[in-house]
Amino acid sequence: MDFTEHAGEIIRALKPGTLLTTKDGDKLNSMVIGWGTIGINWGKPVFITYVRKSRFTHELLDKNPEFTINVPTGAFDPKILKICGSKSGRDMDKIKEAGLTPVDPETISVPGFKEFPLTLECRVIYCQDQDPAGFDKDSLERLYPADAAGHRDFHTTYYGEIVNAYIIED
């Protein structure tokens, strides 16, 4: 599938939430993302996403720099986004709890899901921790409020080369 034919659909799905899935060994985890972009960088098709350093997904990406972006193409059970967006994979099997059906990947080690069939298989080609000095004051305070100890939970930006794109068919 040519990912550019579905770029608008992928971007529109970010607002209500789509899934970013990672895997290391037998640990499979999905989280809801609302921030991301799709395009061309360094002459390669990429999906760029942001993962907070405190997230289990970040830990898994550090061990296996591959991920899938999983986009719904029709109706789906909203509990999927509720569970994957509010629970930690450190504490539970979110895939099982959300009722997701993994489908073997074609190119990388991370599966897609029957319930969110538009799938981008991505391999990390660049990552960068966010630099707090690069934010304007309003965005810094609004997006990264300091906790009582003054700590802010910043994101790492991941550039995933789209190495395969397809829609899972029943």
pLDDT at 162: 98
DSSP state of 13: H
pLDDT at 74: 87
Measured CA to CA, the distance from residue 110 to residue 25 in angstroms comes to 10
Q: Which residues are CB-neighbours of 26 under 8 A, at least 6 positions away?
A: none
Q: What three-state secondary structure class fits 91?
A: coil
Provide the residue ranges of all domains of the chain, joining segments of one domain with +: 3-167
Q: Give backbone dihedrals phi and psi of 138, rounded to 5 degrees, phi first.
A: -60, -50
pLDDT profile of the chain (170 residues), mean per 10? 88 91 95 94 96 94 97 92 92 94 97 96 96 91 90 93 94
> Are 25 and 66 contacting, i.e. CB atoms less than 8 angstroms apart?
no
CATH 2.40.30.10 matches 3-167: no
- H helices of 18-156, in order, are 56-63, 79-86, 94-98, 137-143
Measured CA to CA, the distance from residue 108 to residue 164 in angstroms comes to 9
pLDDT at 4: 85
pLDDT at 170: 75
